[in-house]
Amino acid sequence: MYKIVIIDDEPIIVEGLTRTMPWDKWECLVAGTAYDGIEGQKLIRNVKPNLVITDISMPGMNGLNMIAGLKAEFPDLEISILTGFREFEYAQKAIQLGVTRLILKPSSMKEIEEAVSTMVGNLKKKNVHTDAEECDVDVNGASSFIVKNALKYIQENYTRKLTLGEVAEKTYVSQWYLSKLLNKHIGKSFSDILNQTRINVARDLLKNPSMRIGDIAEEVGFMDMAHFSRVFKKFAGCSANEYRNKHS
């Protein structure tokens, strides 16, 4: 049996799809349901379904980021999304990320059935077995989307204590997978990307002789001056003081 997960913040939709759809018709079994994106993400990693039907306008989540995370981490996963958004650009991006069907709310049972039929047909064409797709890192549109969002998040938050786990949560992938993606696409670890971002900013700030080096270290996210000194020398090839003397 193919495993399907249903995610929506409206219980009536989740219960309706779970109980009224003729799942046996497509050799499907509802393996779990969730009522928000974070819960749904955890459920998917736990049960590893073959198909997902999900809303993308639930509170506290970015639907496109969640879709990108799922398609990058589980590339054979078939996804149909339920949405009230009618903007063409939004729908186009969802399709680019690998969504099979975009179903506008309110939707008919016929539309849902057609989506499930198409998803199951795609799985059979790809010869995907009923035990799901966690596989190695692949360079595709979804993974590129995730890396872009991860780098943007790092750039916007480098001044505070930032962890791989937080960035992974914001991009809807596991820490392990985000680490692999960054190494594959950027050729660097999360730690090196974060520190390189901080040191690049520190270099610019060091050109201002009125700023104390200790203040610069703190401003770019280092609470420990000794740590800042070690990292600066690693990435700049000289001490912060030497860099200032050359460039101020």
List all residues 6 or more positions away from 151 whose beta carbon is below 8 Å from its beta carbon.
186, 193
CATH number of the domain enclosing 224: 1.10.10.60
- Number of domains comprising the chain: 2
Domain co-membership, 96 together with 198: no
Q: What share of the chain is helix, strand, coil (3-state, %, to 5)?
A: 55, 10, 30
Collapsed DSSP state (helix, strand, coil) of residue 17: helix
- Choosing from 93, 125, 157, the residue where a domain stops is 125
What predicted TM-score, i.e. pTM, was given to this entire model? 0.75
CATH number of the domain enclosing 19: 3.40.50.2300
Alpha-carbon gap, residue 180 to 240, rounded angstroms? 31
**Domain interval for residue 103:** 2-125
User: What are the distances in angstroms from CA 113 to CA 23, 93, 131, 145?
Assistant: 9, 23, 22, 29
Domain-embedded: residue 170: no
Domain-embedded: residue 133: no
Q: Looking at residue 132, what is its pLDDT?
A: 45
Alpha-carbon gap, residue 92 to 54, rounded angstroms? 17
Output the average pLDDT for the chain. 89
Query: Using one digit for the tens of pLDDT, what is the confidence trace for 85-113?
Result: 776 777 788 888 889 998 888 888 899 99
- Choosing from 101, 125, 149, the residue where a domain stops is 125
Amino acid identity for residue 180 in this structure: K
- Choosing from 70, 92, 125, the residue where a domain stops is 125
Tokens for 219? 């401003």
Query: Using one digit for the tens of pLDDT, what is the confidence trace for 116-168?
Result: 999 999 999 988 765 547 445 555 688 889 999 999 999 999 999 999 999 99
Domain co-membership, 194 together with 121: no
